Amino acid sequence: MSDLPRKALSRTAKLASLPLGAAGRATVGLGKRIGGAPADAVMAEFQRRTAEQLFSVLGELKGGAMKFGQMLSLMESAMPEELAAPYRATLTKLQDSAPPMPAATVDKILSDELGKRWRSRFSEFDDKPAAAASIGQVHRGVLKDGREVAVKLQYPGAAEALRADLRQLGRFGRTFGTLVPGLDIKPLIAELQERIGEELDYDREAQAQQQYADAFKGHPEFVVPRVVKHSPTVIVSEWIEGKPLSGVIANGTKTERDELGLKYVRFMFSGPRLAGLLHSDPHPGNFRVLEDGRLGVVDFGLCARLPDGLPPAIGRLLRISLEGNGDEVLAGLRAEGFVKPRMEIDPQQLMDYLAPFAEPARAETFQFSRAWMREQANRTGDFRSPNASLALRLNLPPSYLLIHRVWIGGIAVLSQLEAEAPFREVLEEFLPGFTD
């Protein structure tokens, strides 16, 4: 058997172990309950072991499996606390860490992309990766001219691994509901499948990163590393040193979390105006807090191209919803393709459904929290409620897919940060149509 089929079978077996492992632990837990062990202790052990296996399997596989794990880590703020807590630290690891490639594989990739004498370009090159994530890993180096750089390499066979993993994860969709209760993974997997080509194209990513770097050059709040060299599978860019945003989520003071929450929102909303791009992978692993307080941003593999900025319809409809005009909001959503022509929707029910999404824009200052995020998830996730049935009748136009991802993902990160800040000011400054 060749290496490729053998590796594919190995990946399939490891993914299959997730639901089988969960079922086995549930059976053991039942046995312990029959034997008299307290229910809370059994559940805590079940959740801890499930989290350990989740990281072990998804992290080792990299590819689509790990990318899926990163998305889970982003949305854990919507889960009930007693279920989210055992997974939080484990899933956070998936934001920027995974077992590294062998040094010989790294050498081959860089020899193919930069030339056989690639090491002569560097005065220093660390063979141990500084970070390893879903489709690539990053090494730290120093060029001959003294510049510190990040060398990002794509894993060999990343495309095949991504597609195979996502197909396999789709088959296990229902079982993952027991691993992470309350979360529908089908839309997550569908979006990952849709974006495979974009995330694998390092030339496209380098272009987007440089476009951002040019737009934010000398910015007092943000740092985007400039690109030095790139190829379809390698990007060499300036090195930035900083604390991961996930560290601030876990251990930051209230002041730090509030300040960084506001900077995070300002970066997301200012990108379309200043760079003509929307950074569309909002999870905390892509953000670094520099020593001088600026927010460093990395990984531009997924960006929405918005040369004319954000669509003015977003700001206009948000403003109208705050004014309480349900008929006009419904008409606007229908015009943008969110409501299909023959779909009948009650304007007042629509306003009730949209109210929490507009809530952060209503007050001068808003407090995000995990509790607030869970409340919104419950409103739309309980299929017995009118809000859930309305959500199923709404449509998401393709042109809004990435914008929607950033909006929801950004809210999740702000809820993890428990950030309180004048977010309305950001909308007034950067969201077209909001104040017109």
**Closest CA relative to residue 199, chosen from 60, 113, 91, 71:** 71
Say how far apart CA 207 and CA 121 lie, in whole Å: 22
Residue 365 has, within 13 A of its CA and on its CB side, a CA count of 7
Is residue 68 within 8 A of residue 185, CB to CB? The reply is yes
Count of C-beta atoms within a 10 Å radius of residue 143: 16
Say how far apart CA 389 and CA 193 lie, in whole Å: 26
DSSP state of 417: H
> Taking the model in full, what pTM does it have?
0.77
**Considering all CA atoms of the chain, what is the largest pairwise distance in Å, rounded to the nearest integer?**
68
Say how far apart CA 428 and CA 334 lie, in whole Å: 24
Q: The tokens of 61 are what?
A: 């596989």
Say how far apart CA 432 and CA 273 lie, in whole Å: 9
Count of C-beta atoms within a 10 Å radius of residue 138: 21
DSSP state of 101: P
C-alpha of 349 from chain center: 30
pLDDT tens series, the chain, 436 aa? 444 444 544 555 555 554 444 444 333 343 443 444 444 454 445 445 555 555 555 545 555 455 555 555 555 666 656 555 655 555 555 545 556 788 999 999 999 999 999 999 999 999 999 987 667 899 999 999 999 999 999 988 777 766 666 666 665 555 454 444 444 556 656 655 666 667 788 999 999 999 999 999 999 999 999 999 999 999 999 999 999 998 999 899 999 999 999 999 999 999 999 999 999 988 888 999 999 999 999 999 889 999 999 999 999 999 999 999 999 999 999 999 999 888 899 999 899 888 878 899 999 999 999 888 888 877 766 656 666 678 778 888 878 888 988 998 899 899 999 999 999 999 999 999 999 7
